[in-house]
A and B are shown apart, each in its own frame.
Chain A
Amino acid sequence: MRKLARLFATGFSMSLRRTLTYRTNLLFDVALAVAGLLSSLATVLLVFARTDHLAGWTRPETFVLVGTYQLLTGVKAAFLDPNLAWFPTRGIREGTLDTYLLQPAPSLFLASLATAAPLALVEAVLGLGVVGLGAYGHPPGPLGIAAWLLLVLAGAAVTWALGVLLACLAFWAPRLQLDVFYNATWQLARYPVGIYRRPLRLLLTYVIPLALIATTPATALLREPQPATLLTATVAAATATALATATWRLGLRRYTGATS
């Protein structure tokens, strides 16, 4: 575990140095992250110019939700997307996976977390700021903050597991490219799941648990955290992680190599 943490830190450090070489890109990405956040906030302001509540959420509460969403979007863009985006094409069909399999580290780690896009963390930092802005009027207690942190970690684990599971499909269907679909579905987590009609709400809570990305952590921070919710989220994160790892191993057994 310590070896993996060291590898992760080294990979991040190398990515950071590579990124900082191009200063203009840094400014560009910061500007884009700010524009994205302003666009999300403008949406919230537009909605609340017409109503006081959105599916039971007030404006400051929705800021907390949007901030939490932005935080995990930044984490996903920084660590998951640079590795797993276009995995069926790059990893399987062009054979990048072969090089991972030859290296003395777990292939799942190398395929999903070896490199990073550190500038995307700007989005996560801005998201944290929006959470603070939303919670400013009614500061949460230490229990709420701890529950929020736990649920954000569970959300990050589920995000990673979903990304790996979608990538694993390429072992069986190499032409199946679901990145675009995953990123599109991800956008639905930006709003409280209460706004969606019942079948979609159930889908986003239990099948593709995007409710765990923003709605559940924001609820825990703003209202009394429910032990049952914390337990369910932890179990869901552990199950999703185990399922992703098992599916990866199963897929590797089927993999025959694209190169040589």
Chain B
Amino acid sequence: MRRILRLTALRVRRQFLDWSGAWWFTITLVANESLGPLAGLFVWSAVFPGDPRVVSYFAALIAVQIMTASYENHTFSETVYQGTVSHELLQPQPVVIGPMGENLAIRLWMTLFGLPPAVLAGFLLGATYRRADLLLALPALAGAAVLRFLYTWILALTAFWTERVHAVVTFGGMLVALLGGAVAPVSLLPGPWRAVAQVLPFHAMLGLPADIATGAVTGPAAVAALGRGLAWIVAFTVLAAVVWRAGARRYTVVGA
């Protein structure tokens, strides 16, 4: 386990340095992640003018979106299509360490570039949070970061079967946006949809940290939601291992 952690840390360091030259592209990624929740902010501010909870929720959502962004369909799936994943398969370490390290490095850069403007925008628009809620939101944020990576990683592994991995991930992203709290806070969904959204993993991937930070989900409800998120992490980890094994068995490469 210690070896895996050391290898991951080394990979994060290497990718962090690699990405230091792509700062302009990182800013465009930050803008890409922020504009969806920003549009949600404007839409729901028009519906509930003057409601400070709308601003607080969507400002927190922008921060969550930036800090949990995952691009494994670009960083990993392309290596399957180009055949370069073979190099990784030959190394005496789990292949997932590479995409995981790059994921963390990209998130670090995105947080460095994106979080200060998001905090400033929230402050200027009048977002307010209680310190206790923010502290409780931290484990939810960590859970969202892990869950979002696992989800995108599993979808990215479909590259072993289809060449339309970007479409698969886009479809997965739609589900996260619709049922995870980006299009509308889960509390505003109609009754049956709300119940479904709370049970599925998408809320824990995106909206839950923002809901906890704004005090919309507190006490036992917050603990139960965190527990559900943890259960989804376990389920996705098992699923990722199964899909990886099946994909690696299917993978063939020609040439040297």
Contacts and interface: CB of A to CB of B under 8 A. Distances in A.
B183 A46 contact: yes
Contact of B167 (A29, A50, A183, A187): A29
Q: How large is the interface on A (under 10, 10 to 19, 20 to 34, 35 or more residues)?
A: 20 to 34
Contacts of A181: 28, 31-32
A195 B189 CA distance: 21
Interface residues of B, number: 31
A40 to B, nearest CB: 9
A43 B44 CA distance: 11
A176 B24 contact: yes
Q: Is the interface of A mostly helix, strand, loop or mixed?
A: helix
Nearest to A42: B178
B132 interface: no
B164 A184 contact: no
B28 A46 contact: no
A257 to B, nearest CB: 23
Contacts of B35: 184-185, 187-188
B39 to A, nearest CB: 6
A177 B43 contact: no
B177 A180 contact: no
B171 interface: yes
B201 to A, nearest CB: 18
A43 B25 contact: no
B220 interface: no
A135 interface: no
Given A28-B167, A51-B47, A178-B28, 20 more contacts: A28-B162, A29-B164, A32-B167, A35-B174, A39-B174, A39-B183, A43-B184, A46-B189, A46-B190, A47-B184, A54-B43, A54-B47, A175-B22, A177-B24, A177-B28, A181-B31, A184-B32, A194-B46, A195-B46, A197-B42
Q: Is the interface of B mostly helix, strand, loop or mixed?
A: helix
Nearest to A50: B47
Contacts of B247: none
A32 B162 CA distance: 15
Interface in B116-156: none
B251 to A, nearest CB: 20
A192 to B, nearest CB: 9
Contacts of B45: 195
Nearest to A31: B171
B3 to A, nearest CB: 36
B32 A54 contact: no
Given A47-B43, A54-B46, A196-B42, A184 B31 contact: yes
29 contacts: A25-B164, A32-B167, A35-B171, A39-B174, A39-B177, A39-B183, A43-B183, A43-B184, A46-B183, A46-B189, A46-B190, A47-B43, A47-B47, A50-B48, A51-B47, A177-B25, A180-B28, A180-B29, A180-B31, A180-B32, A181-B28, A183-B32, A187-B35, A187-B39, A188-B39, A190-B39, A191-B39, A195-B42, A195-B46
Contacts of B163: 25
A181 B24 CA distance: 11
